[in-house]
Structure 1
Amino acid sequence: PSESIISYISENREFLDGIVVTGGEPLTQKDICDFLEKVKRLGMSVKIDTNGFFPEELRRLIQLGLVDYVAMDIKAPLIPEEYSFIAGRKICERDIDRLRRTISLLSRERISGEFRTTIIESYHTLERVERIVNELPPNATYVLQQFVSRDYLRIKEGTTSKEYILKLVEFLGEKYGSGLRIEPRIYE
């Protein structure tokens, strides 16, 4: 299937500036490096959406110059029990260490990117969101995404209100605004 994607990009590159590789988790694909090399040869920019659990794979792609922008999801405070609840699977201390290594990598490599959390109003209290912020580099971009309820999702919550997202953005902006860039991403 990657050859058909490369063919599509090649045929339409006059209309494209770049691509977004998302998932599942794109860093688990064994041919990701070869695929991105072909994409870069076509002159495309590459954005990777990642869950942050594969810092070594991401480091390799960055060092090879195959990634231009990284968006890392941070689902919850970096505490195994909290992360497990939101992720819907067991998260251990080793997993949390991998998330921290990815955050550190993105800070050191100075690659363009963002950290983002999908805000579930009943779960992501101000205190929890602050614990996430305290893990981020001081000059990071942090995006608060609106959770949009869907019947097929494991989490059965209502859509997070626009007002709640904006309240969090305002509070965080006042407290951390000198370096940290806080952005809302509202869908409804």
Structure 2
Amino acid sequence: MKKSVVIKSALIATTIFALAPLTACATLSPANATTSGTTPATTTQVSASVPQMDEKQIVNLVTQARDIFWKVQMAKTTQKAFEFKDIPYVYLNDEFSTKEKVIAAFEQVYTKEASHFYFDQAGFELYQDKVTLVEGDFGSLLDWEKATAVLSSERPSAKTYLLTVPLGETGEKQEVYVTVKLVPELGWRIVNSPNDIR
């Protein structure tokens, strides 16, 4: 009986390592710690070095991303800055008055590349050294908190999930692919443009 348990455990461990190399260390380290005499503190450090990312946590992450998107959008002041090609722009409040502040907000959940790309492509403009954004109100029916996620593909430092997101109370749903990348010392960050998650 003991021999059978050991063989099954080995097969399970091998399968986990083959499918998810990043999480294998965290999964297998307790067993290694027991056989090698490593202290529990060391085991905890190894596990903590690879942040977990699963179907529940991707939903939490995109919900955070949605909140940041709207926090920036709602930071528009009533003071008109200027018009460009008949399009009115407005200032953002002090919390997002510089490009660095806007980028830093998005980098809490997005990669550096995605944050900079979005700033350059989403209608932000610098006027008198302050950030302005196209004036206008728009919304979204996407209910990210109630989304369901399925792992679509996986690489050692990246995962793609297919999220099915309800459209408010309409009974309809929208599918969105979201890719996350493991950034050293920061954790998992979204690769998509912030415009995809709002």
Alignment TM-score > 0.5, same fold: no
Normalising by structure 2, what TM-score?
0.24
Q: Looking at both structures, which has the greater relative contact order when contacts are Cα pairs under 8 Å and sequence separation is at least 6?
A: 2
Question: Which structure shows the higher strand fraction?
Answer: 2
Pick the structure with greater CA Rg: 2
Normalising by structure 1, what TM-score?
0.25
